[in-house]
Structure 1
Amino acid sequence: MSTTNIRAKKQSLSDIKVFNELIKLMKPRVMSLVIFTCAVGLLSSPIVLSVKDAMIGILFVAMGAGAAGTLNMWYEADLDKLMSRTCLRPIPRGKVNKDQALIFGLLLSIISVVSLYYFSNFLSAFLLFFTIFFYVIVYTIWLKRKTSQNIVIGGASGALPPVIGWTIATNSLSMEPLTLFLIIFIWTPSHFWALSLYKANDYKRAKIPMLPITDGIQNTKKNILIYSLLMIPTILIPYYIGFAGLTFLIPSLALTLYYNYICFNLYSFKKNKFDTNIAKHIFSYSIIYLFLIFVLFLIDKLI
């Protein structure tokens, strides 16, 4: 093999490695949730799109979510290197530099929003733009380092994908997709505060004012329980407005009551202390819980 071919092969391998790191910047696990909830919003709408149009719309929403994740990692690179949960991300490891991440994030943002407008409609494109803007500017840059309510307010961006899925199909907004928004919005605080309990040292080191640091363990446990209980009326709303039936309601309530139970166990543990295993269980279960709620909703709509 000639020297030129060897160099070309090495360059190709290097390009693949950089590409893989850029994909990691997009937070693939978060993207998978965005894709799923967006698809549920789209499939639950009264208008049926072709498979091609649906896949194109979801692709650009996923790309927009990846853009938001990339810009989040670009801005928070200094914090990420201080936290055990995030220190192995591409920028702290030196696999991608901040300029590359910024350019990649901006390009993804522009391409996703413009393409969704071209292939779908203005309302969907605007909501995708708003989602990226809210997550990067409002949550990441403004709220995260300033208030313990960062995750409550910032959770709005993560709750918008099912609404965008609905607007891709209908080019309109109504009460129905807003119930899906509300489910994710109310779910988010208890999910992340459970994580922040057993990762409090990370957040303290990075000087991020998460609730356990600013308000203490006991108040955090109380808020986790309160938000878990708020899921009960939130789950009832789709049924109450006729957007979902008993196929959704009954198992969803059972899942929610178990969520309430484990959150109560966390709260009733020793005052100003918590059981790490329970906190981890709440965090893990909350992910499965949200996934199953949306699966049940989709099953209900298909039936």
Structure 2
Amino acid sequence: MSDASLNPSTTTAGSTQPQEAGFGDFFALLKPRVMSLVVFTALVGLLAAPVSVNPVVGFTAILFIAIGGGASGALNMWWDADIDRIMKRTKSRPIPAGRITEGEAFGFGIALSAISVIMLGLATNLVAAGLLAFTIFFYVVIYSMWLKRWTPQNIVIGGAAGAFPPMIGWAAATGSISVESVLMFTLIFVWTPPHFWSLALFMKSDYDEAGVPMLTSTHGRRVTRNHILVYTLLLVPVSFALAFTSIGGPAYLIAGVLLNALFLRGAWNIWRRDETAAEADGYATEKTVFKHSLYYLFGLFVAILIDSALRSADLLAAGPINFWGV
């Protein structure tokens, strides 16, 4: 079977002769920047869980969650090779650059998917393994193959794939799903649209050229700005809901107040701008909000870790009722 036949959306026109791939090329297939977020949020989910986990088991769980996340990235690059060749942001990736063939990426992604799910199940439990398998399936099939090229709501629904890691980490520790893990999922799920739409505002031409129906392309930047503000407003109560669970605490409450205020101000500034002003300064505000959105998510999950550490040291009460004094 030829490489092109593996991806029906890819043609051989304009393809380059593959060079010999190195370790760095296969590592790039794993989308290490995305994988770092997967690892971090999964680690928070595992450490915040009210169950003591053997360090070796915990390390093994995070390792295979990371490998599963990387497998999703490799399969996404396999499927999206045709549009990656068009977009400036992605044309230097291993496949469009001709360093790895689509067939090699496909085989690599499938192998890592199977290894990560099986080993996570053996190291922890079937709930965690099942969630990891579903995450890979959701990202590759539901998001990459279906939603991404079909609907401007692609990043809204598809954002669920990036929201599962803390649930997987929690399940690896507890063998179950809880209110806390669902709220961590919901936090990332609602955060994803304004995060990526702020990127799309200053990367619009890339999506236009590739034919990806991002909201900026299908409905325009004005509608996208409206959506960023609405989703950021929805994000505030979702983020604060975690403070009223067993993993809430003073660190999370303080971080929530400061980070939500910063994110809301950024979303408001994006909403009130017109395209003339945005183009004049090179979309500086949009780029700043995109960067701050990363700090937002990182800061809230760090706060969960801090409160978990304080609770482990018996410096906090063990539950939300005692913490809030009601």
Give the shorter-chain TM-score range: over 0.9
2:186 is aligned with 1:166: no
Q: Distance in 2 between matches of 1:287 and 1:298?
A: 17
Q: Report the Cα offset of residue 145 of structure 1.
A: 0.2
Q: Give percent identity, aligned residues only.
A: 44
| Per-residue deviation, 1:235 | 1.5
1:1-303 to structure 2, matched below 5 A, reads 18-270=22-274, 274=278, 276-303=283-310
1:38-84 residue CA offsets vs partner (Å, 9 max, x unmatched): 00000000111111100000000000000000000000000001001
The one-letter amino acid paired with 1:159 is A
**1:260-293, Cα deviation, whole Å (9 max, x unpaired):** 0011011101268746001111111111111111
Find the counterpart in structure 1 of residue 13 from structure 2: none
Please report how far the alpha carbon of residue 212 of structure 1 lies from its aligned counterpart in structure 2 after TM superposition: 0.7
Task: Return the letter of the residue paired with 1:241.
Answer: T
TM-score scaled by length of structure 2: 0.86
CA distance in 2, matches of 1:148, 1:253: 31
2 CA distance for matches of 1:243 and 1:177? 10
Contact 1:42 1:166 in 2 (8 A): yes
Contact 1:217 1:273 in 2 (8 A): no
Structure 1, gaps ≥5 residues long: 1-13
Contact 2:46 2:166 (8 Å CA) reproduced:
yes
Q: Is the 8 A contact 1:218 1:272 kept in 2?
A: no
Contact 2:29 2:73 in 1 (8 A): yes
Aligned partners of 1:246 and 1:217: how far apart in 2?
38
Greater mean deviation of Cα atoms: 231-240 or 266-275: 266-275
Contact 1:123/1:172 (8 A) holds in 2: yes
Task: Give the Cα separation in 1 of the matches to 2:278 and 2:295.
Answer: 22
SS in 1 for 2:22: helix
Unaligned runs of 5+ in 2: 1-18, 311-326
Measure the CA separation in 2 of the matches of 1:129 and 1:274.
41
1:83 counterpart SS class: coil
Deviation of 1:222 after TM superposition, in Å, equals 0.6
1:3 match = none
Q: SS in structure 2 opposite 1:84?
A: coil
Give the CA deviation at 1:251.
Answer: 2.2
Give the distance between the partners of 1:257 and 1:36, measured in 2 at CA.
23
Shift of 1:242: 4.0
CA distance in 2, matches of 1:224, 1:247: 27
Q: Secondary structure at the match of 1:62?
A: helix
TM-score by length of 1: 0.93
Stretches of 4+ moved more than 3 A in 1?
271-275
CA distance in 2 between partners of 1:120 and 1:180 (Å): 20
Question: For 2:276 and 2:304, how far apart are their aligned partners in 1?
Answer: 37
Take 2:86 and 2:121, find their aligned partners in 1: how far apart are those partners? 39
The answer to whether the 8 Å contact 1:235/1:253 transfers is no
1:284, 1:241 → 2: CA distance?
Answer: 28
Q: Once the 2 structures are TM-superposed, how far is the Cα of residue 144 of structure 1 from its aligned partner?
A: 0.2
